[in-house]
Each structure stands twice: as C-alpha cells, then as structure tokens.
Amino acid sequence: MKAIVLVGGFGTRLRPLTLSAPKQLLPIGGVTMLERVVAKLGAAGVEEVVLSLGYQPDMFRSEFADARCAGVDLVYAVEPEPLDTAGAIAFAADAAGVSERVLAVNGDVLSDLDIADLLAHHDRFGAAATIALTPVEDPSRYGVVPLDDDGRVRAFIEKPEPGTAPSNWINAGIYVLEPSVIQSIPRGRKVSIERETFPALVGAGTLYAVQSDAYWIDAGTPAAFLQVHLDLLDGRRGTVESGVDRTARVDADAKISRSFIGSGAVVAAGAEVIDSVVMAGVRIAHGARIERSIIGARALIGDGCEVTELSVVGYDQDVDAGTILRAERLPGPDNW
C-alpha cells in the first residue's frame, strides 16, 4: 500500500524553529517528526510514501538522500506553489503515478491509531473516503466531524468558532481515499480537503469515519511540540524514552528534570532544565534556568538566563547573559 504524507506547510505556529527547518524535520527526542510518522505507516504495511512537499523541499532531499525513511521508500512530489491539502494530495498522486486506493496523512500527527482498523471500516461500508477521528477538549482549532449512528459523516466543519462545535470528535488527519476521490479534486488551483472535498462527499453520503481514543497529538504548536516530548518521557506511549542523549555533557552540578537534552548539548554547573526540550548542540551556561520551553539547535543560553513559560528560542540564537524570556519567542515576529 502507498501513502501520501502532507509536509508542505510553512509551520507558522512553530516559528522561529520552522525558519530553520520545516516542521516535519524538527527532531522529537533526536528522531525527526517525519521518521516517527513514516515508521508508523511502515508498521501498518505501507511500502512507499509520497512526500507532498512545498516549503524547503531540499532539506527533505538532503535529510533522506537515499530516498528511504524508517525502512520505507520515499517519492518526492514538489508543488510549484502551495495547493492546500486536497490540491497537494492530487498533485502528489499525479506526480507519483498513484492510481489505487491510498492513505493520506497530515505530516505533523503522532498517534497510536490502528490503521488496519481504519481500512477494515472503510471496506465494511464501501466508503469513498474514511477519516480517523479522535476526541479533544477544544475542537475549535481542528476539523469537527459529527456522525450518524451508522458511522456516516453528517458534516465536516473546519475550525468552528469556539463554543459552536457539535461534537468533540475531530479529524485526526489520517484518511483512506478511493481513486474516485482523488480524481474528483480540481487540478491547478488551491483545494482544501477539509473545506471543499470532504463537504462534497458528505453531500453524496459517501464519507465515513471511525472513532478512536488511542494516543493522538498534532505537534504543530509549541505547547503540543513540548507535550509530545513529555509524553515520551512519561511513558504515555508505551516505552519510556531516555531524555539525555549519550553525547550530551551535563555537569554534575546541573539539574535536569523531565527534559530532552539533544546530542552534543552542554549544560554547565548550576544550570537547571525542567520540563523542556533542548536540541542538539545547545550550550547552557552557568546558573541559567530553562522551564517549560524549547531551545532550538546550537543556541547559546548565557549565564543566569531565565527561559520559561513556553518560550521558544530559534536555532543558532545567542541569548545574552541575564536575559529573561517569559512566554516569548526569540527572534520575535518582527524578525520573521
């Protein structure tokens, strides 16, 4: 089976990290987000993944120079301009010659959803397309999907106004699509699968969905990106991943708690890192305190800095000694 993985977005909500690398090439505990997504598809029997690329495609080509990722063959489909989700799927299918039933996946979703179950459900109902659903507390930043009793989708409401969603079951960003659906997508312009393709299938009565409360997270915001790491450290996804890379150098008088410390990072005496992500090659000087924050690769955090409350420091940033960052991004929006 083949899968199309959407990885062409700009990753705006994860800036400044995504100024240096596309969202799906950001490391999650030392393994890129994309490798984690593709490994899951591989485990479900997918043998070829078509990467639907737009933003910074060359970075994907050099990261996976042999066109293999997590044991799966990669095909690159680079859009000339962003075509939005359905436009991107159609472009990728045409570029890679996919004419059979296919899985399509948002490239920033990490989950333990059962793909075999999704496929079985799709077959059972003879659906044109089947969407995996997951429950969330606040559905307003997702696609909301109310169902009939028989599992048929009653409506697809992308990003409803807060408080108006008819259900807290949302589109998990994992679909089975029949060739007829891909053929129906108009070519050569932006088409949103959430706002155009799925609502049309609702009208035809051929869109189905399957609910699952397996682990699921869209890692596309700083809060969620941090949460993915904490979930791995806490063992919420089965095995507990170790937080401190073997090649990191942490002084005996530094305190690290519930955090990922990337390869080659250096943490000096008296520094504290709590509930945070510190990427490869970062240097944290004496007495600095990092809490609930993300430090991009190779950044330098000076003596006595405080970086807290979901602050995000970009790749290669030099943060002067004594700087206090609370709920801030460095560089900030003025420099994006």
Binding residues vs ligand GDD (CB under 6 A) = 6-9, 23, 52, 54, 79, 82-85, 88, 106-109, 142-143, 158, 170-171, 173, 194, 218, 220
Residue 132's binding partner out of Mg ion, ligand GDD, none, with CB under 5 to 8 Å set by partner kind: none
Largest CA distance in the chain: 64
Beta bridge partners of 105: 5, 174
The full DSSP string for 84-143 is HHHHHHHHHHHHHT--S-EEEEETTEEE---HHHHHHHHHHHT-SEEEEEEE-S-GGGSE
Cα atoms in the Cβ-side hemisphere of radius 13 Å centred on 188: 0
What residue type is assigned to position 307 of the chain?
V
Asked if 187 contacts 88 with a C-beta cutoff of 8 angstroms, the reply is no
The values of phi and psi at residue 44, to 5°, are: -90, 5
In angstroms, give the least distance from the CB of 55 to ligand GDD.
7
**Is residue 108 involved in binding Mg ion (CB under 5 A)?**
yes
The values of phi and psi at residue 28, to 5°, are: -120, 105
Contact mark string toward Mg ion, 179..218, x via CB under 5 A: ---------------------------------------x
Residue whose CB is less far from ligand GDD, 218 or 272: 218
Cα atoms in the Cβ-side hemisphere of radius 13 Å centred on 82: 11
Cα 47–51–52 angle (5° rounding)? 140
In whole angstroms, what is the distance from residue 45 CA to residue 307 CA?
Answer: 43
**Is residue 84 involved in binding Mg ion (CB under 5 A)?**
no
Which DSSP letter does residue 287 get? T
Burial class (CB in 10 A: 0-12, 13-18, 19+), 232: buried
Q: Which two tokens stand for residue 156?
A: 């697809």
Residue 245's binding partner out of Mg ion, ligand GDD, none, with CB under 5 to 8 Å set by partner kind: none
Residue whose CB is less far from ligand GDD, 194 or 291: 194
Among the listed ranges 36-44, 104-112, 128-136, 243-251, the one in contact with Mg ion (CB under 5 A) is 104-112
In angstroms, give the least distance from the CB of 217 to ligand GDD.
9
In angstroms, give the least distance from the CB of 105 to Mg ion.
11
In whole angstroms, what is the distance from residue 118 CA to residue 43 CA?
Answer: 14
Residue 171's binding partner out of ligand GDD, Mg ion, none, with CB under 5 to 8 Å set by partner kind: ligand GDD
In angstroms, give the least distance from the CB of 71 to Mg ion.
25
Q: Which residue has the tokens 């591989």?
A: 42
Residue 107's binding partner out of ligand GDD, Mg ion, none, with CB under 5 to 8 Å set by partner kind: ligand GDD
Residue whose CB is less far from ligand GDD, 54 or 281: 54
**Is residue 262 involved in binding Mg ion (CB under 5 A)?**
no
Residue whose CB is less far from ligand GDD, 207 or 307: 207
Residue whose CB is less far from ligand GDD, 171 or 311: 171
Residue 20's binding partner out of Mg ion, ligand GDD, none, with CB under 5 to 8 Å set by partner kind: none
Residue whose CB is less far from ligand GDD, 220 or 222: 220
Q: Which two tokens stand for residue 252?
A: 């005996």
Candidate list 16, 27, 220, 222; residue touching Mg ion; CB under 5 A: 220
In angstroms, give the least distance from the CB of 228 to ligand GDD.
13
Positions that interact with Mg ion (CB under 5 A): 108, 218, 220
